[in-house]
Amino acid sequence: MSRIVEPSPNTAQSEYWNATAGETWAQFQEPLDRQIEPLGLAAIDVLQPALGEHIIDIGCGCGQTSLTLAARVAPTGSVLGIDLSTPMLEVARYRPRPTANLCVDFRQLDAQTGAIGRGIFDAAFSRFGVMFFSDPVAAFANIRASLKPGGRLVFVCWRSLGENPWMLAPLQAALPFIPPVAPPDPTAPGPFAFADPSRVRSILTEAGFASVTTDPLDARIGGGDLEQSLKLALRMGPLGAALREHPELSGKVAGAVRDLLSKYLTPGGVLVPSAVWIVRAQNP
């Protein structure tokens, strides 16, 4: 069942995640979950969810992390997953539950302005869902207000594009065949908005969090075969954005990107280096 997205200062992001991006993530949910699952699990291990806790999952997408968290806090705990994207939430609501005793719910809501509760959650978590706010200080202040005193925040976010070959290398392979690609604004809402750890710490501190840490994690991600990995590379990240502007160039680009990805082929599939921050903070 579709739900109406409430008016939001993140209107552009809402439109984006309810159209092209959300539909793509819903379509490729299984390979995308496989690709970034290890990074989310590493952050969940840092969060250390405990039996009986109540956790909010910010930008929960297709629901994999929400279900994982719910299994950790079951049977007496609960998880609320929130996201802007109708297509992704539809996947989340109807995907199979790993066990029958999970208490997990999904709600379409903007974490920057939405009524997510006051002082009711033991922890807030996010896997790549918090880099898209128009006003990140306001968003994290709202998230902090939903936490109990002493409540924890843990999220995982990308470091810079230059440190992430899984997104950069396919783009570089395609550059001879596509128009010039402008470098992203490092502070604009988007995947790399939190690449600068000092900016992250400043935002969280201004939002009222304490004990903020940013720890680097490097890991090879992917796991699909060569053709699956090629499909994702042509649809995701900066190359995917460029090809959405020039879909007629996909055929010219595909061969170069396939050759590039073949260099990362392993017995476990195509595995390409990635680089993230795992961020921790506490509500005083």
Q: What are 232-256's pLDDT values in tens digits?
A: 999 998 999 899 999 999 999 999 9
pLDDT band for 12, please (50, 70, 90 cuts).
confident
What value does the mean pLDDT take over residues 94-102? 89
Backbone angles phi, psi at 162, to 5 degrees: -65, -20
Mean pLDDT of the chain: 93
Q: Which structure tokens are listed for 6?
A: 């409430």
Q: Which structure tokens are listed for 186?
A: 């490092």
User: Over 80: is that where the pLDDT of 10 sits?
Assistant: no
Q: Are 117 and 143 in contact (CB under 8 A)?
A: no
Q: Which domains does the chain have, with CATH numbers?
A: 11-160+187-220+275-282 (3.40.50.150)
Q: Which structure tokens are listed for 88?
A: 């992704």
Which pLDDT score is estimated for 3? 42
User: Over 70: is that where the pLDDT of 173 sits?
Assistant: yes
The neighbouring-strand residues paired with 55 are 79, 123
What value does the mean pLDDT take over residues 81-102? 93
Exposure class string for 139-173: b at 16+ Cβ within 10 A, else e = bbbbbbebbeeebbbbbbbbbebebbbbbbbbbeb
Each residue of 187-209: pLDDT tens digit?
A: 999 999 999 999 999 999 999 99
User: Is beta strand 265-266 parallel, antiparallel or unpaired with respect to 147-158?
Assistant: unpaired
Q: Name every residue whose Cβ is closer than 8 Å to that of residue 98 and which is 6 or more positions away in sequence.
A: 67, 71
Distances (CA, A) of 131 to 62, 76, 263: 17, 31, 30
Distance CA 237, CA 4 (A): 27
**Residue predicted with more confidence, 12 or 42:** 42
The neighbouring-strand residues paired with 270 are 265
This prediction's pTM? 0.93
- Give me the helix-helix angle, 237-245 and 226-235, nearest 10°: 60
CA–chain centroid gap for 119, Å, is: 24
